[in-house]
């Protein structure tokens, strides 16, 4: 387990498995992290309940998704650097 930790302290920080997160897969990276700088803030994650929500073609949304609210670029960069887990907080 390789964890990307944030430089700033937050009392409610948790470690999230990157493969369990849903995030925007845009392919953008943070050059600062690639060049060896530390991640400043933890990512922000929202747990979706999706109770009774119906999507396209009448299919129900998955329940309990962990959506990244802020930090998709940090995740993309973490994956490129070989990290499996990332520090974050629930919002």
Q: Please report the domains of the chain, with CATH numbers, ordered by start residue.
A: 3-90 (3.90.1530)
- For the stretch 68-77, pLDDT in tens is 999 999 999 9
Give yes or no for residue 64 having a pLDDT over 80. no
Parallel, antiparallel or unpaired: strands 3-4 and 85-90: parallel
Residue-averaged pLDDT of the chain: 90
Annotate 30-67 with b (16+ C-beta within 10 A) or e (fewer).
beebeeeeebeebbebeeeeeeeeeeeeeeeeeeeebe
């Amino acid at each position: 387990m390789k964890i990307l930790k944030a430089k700033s302290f937050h009392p409610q920080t948790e470690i999230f498995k990157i493969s369990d997160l849903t995030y925007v897969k845009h392919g953008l990276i943070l050059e600062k992290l690639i060049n060896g700088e530390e991640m400043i803030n933890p990512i922000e994650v929202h747990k979706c309940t999706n109770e009774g929500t119906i999507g396209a073609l009448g299919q129900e949304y998955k329940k309990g998704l962990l959506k990244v609210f802020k930090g998709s670029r940090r995740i993309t960069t973490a994956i490129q650097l070989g990290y499996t887990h990332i520090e974050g907080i629930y919002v």
